[in-house]
Structures are given as structure tokens and as C-alpha cells.
Structure 1
Amino acid sequence: MSEWSGRGKVRARTIAGGVELTIDGITTQARYYKPLVYEFFRKEFQLRPRYGEFEVELIMEYVGETPTLDLDNLAKALLDALKGHVFVDDSQIARLLCERRVGERDRISVRAVKREA
């Protein structure tokens, strides 16, 4: 695993077969995340998108009241933001796990790994 990159709300690092990123904070507006992640990849963490099937794990951690954010909308926004950076197209996602759970702080973690043949 590499060191974390990023100075703002979004941080990322390469891992075996893919990438892992965290986004600090939670908003009920899923569309907020797409430009945030897109700009991060464009300016701070350039990757060459890969072909093949991917497994993606998305975890939303929160403190306090359960957010009313729909996980499916969040997943769609984040997968669209990763498209062209981690994988060529989100149709390459062969397995998607989305989870909402109580955590130590409000954040979203995404792990995208190329599936082995």
C-alpha cells in the first residue's frame, strides 16, 4: 500500500489491484460528491483507468442520527466520479457492496479493486 495523498476532504492511496479513498463529512446531497471526487482525481491523484471487472466496497460511517442519504444515490454519484480514473466505465463493476454504519466520524470510504480472473 502506498501513502495517503490529498490535503482536503478527499484522500486516496493505491492498494494491491486498485485504489482506496476516503471523503470526510456527509451531506444528504449525493450530487455533491461527484464533482468533489472528480476534481480530486483531476488535480491531485492522477491514475490511468483500467479495463476488466472491479469489486467496489462503499462504506458510509456516521456519528449521531442516521443520515437520510440514500446509499444507492451515493453509490451512483461516486461510481460516476471514479469513471475515467479508476476504471474506464462503471459497467465494469461486477460486485458492489454498500453499507451504512456508526463510526468514529462522518466519512465515506471507497475501495475499488480489479477482480482477478
Structure 2
Amino acid sequence: MDDTLTEPSQTPWTRHGKVQARVEKNGTLELQVEGLTTQAKYYKPLLKEFFRLRFPVRPRWGDWSAHIAMEFTGDPPHMDLDNLAKAMLDSAVGAAFHDDSQVARLLVERRPAAREGVWMLLSPFSHG
């Protein structure tokens, strides 16, 4: 499966505070966090709480593809993308997948956007 959504999703967002997420029938999880901080460790407890209280999903086995984007306005902030990826993937353990070692493909990028935040798409991945 490709790591991008090929068609606009009809699945509604679940929103709480600065976090919103939705999950497709095939298990693909799309997540957005409003705002940026250079402290990647901020995201893990924020998302763990969101998954526990507002968006309970059952983790799945198998390989996963992860696409994470730090979205910024103006000049890009000084943030280590590897630290951001680790925090975001750790936050998805127990929600999308059982262990972050299930991530078989990982793309992390920074990109200009209309609003600052972090976007993540987790998809079941087939090697082929």
C-alpha cells in the first residue's frame, strides 16, 4: 500500500484539543497535531492521552508504513526530525501497532504549510 491517501477520505475526524485523528477501514491512521515545539518529547504524552481517552483504536500486527511531516510557516524551526519521528512512533504504540519495530518503511520530512503542526499517516504495508 502506498503511504499517501489516493482519494479524499470520507472518514470524519475525531478532535480533542490540539489533536485530531481518523482511521480508515483498512487500518490506515491519519493524525494531525496543531502547533510546533522543538521539544519532540512533548508529543508522546499528548498523543498517548488522546489515544487513551478520546480515540481508542486496537493495535494491529504486521508491517507498517509511516509518513511524518513537520509542517511550518516561515523559516523551518531547528528540530531534529529523528527525535520527532521517535516521539510520534512511540505515541502510536498500542494504538496503530503493537511495537514500533513493525515500521518497515519510514519517511520523515519538513515542509512549508499554511499552519504549523505535525502530520502523520500510518498504513499497513505490504512488500511488493
Measured against the shorter chain, the TM-score band is: over 0.9
Establish whether residue 73 from structure 1 lines up as the match of residue 75 from structure 2: no
Residues in 2 aligned to 1:40 and 1:115: alpha-carbon distance in whole angstroms: 24
Amino acid at match of 2:28: G
Q: Is the 8 A contact 2:51 2:95 kept in 1?
A: yes
Residue by residue, what CA displacement relative to the aligned partner does 1:24-68 show, whole Å, maximum 9, x if unpaired?
000000000000000000000000000000000001110112110
Aligned equivalent of 1:4: 13
Aligned equivalent of 2:3: none
Residues in 1 aligned to 2:87 and 2:32: alpha-carbon distance in whole angstroms: 14
Q: CA deviation at 1:7?
A: 2.6
Establish whether residue 100 from structure 1 lines up as the match of residue 113 from structure 2: no
Q: Normalising to structure 2: TM-score of the pair?
A: 0.88
- Alpha-carbon RMSD across the aligned residues, in angstroms, is 1.0
Aligned equivalent of 2:40: 30
SS at match of 1:78: helix
Residues in 2 aligned to 1:5 and 1:32: alpha-carbon distance in whole angstroms: 20
Q: CA deviation at 1:116?
A: 2.9
Q: CA deviation at 1:17?
A: 3.2
Runs of 4+ in 1 over 3 A off after TM superposition: none
Aligned equivalent of 2:67: 57
Residues in 1 aligned to 2:89 and 2:60: alpha-carbon distance in whole angstroms: 14
Indicate the percent of aligned positions where both proteins have the same amino acid.
48
Indicate which of 82, 86, 94 corresponds to 2:92.
82
Aligned equivalent of 2:121: 111
Q: Is the 8 A contact 2:16 2:50 kept in 1?
A: no
Amino acid at match of 1:111: L
The answer for unaligned runs of 5 or more in structure 1 is none
Residues in 2 aligned to 1:13 and 1:85: alpha-carbon distance in whole angstroms: 12
Q: Normalising to structure 1: TM-score of the pair?
A: 0.96
The answer for unaligned runs of 5 or more in structure 2 is 1-8
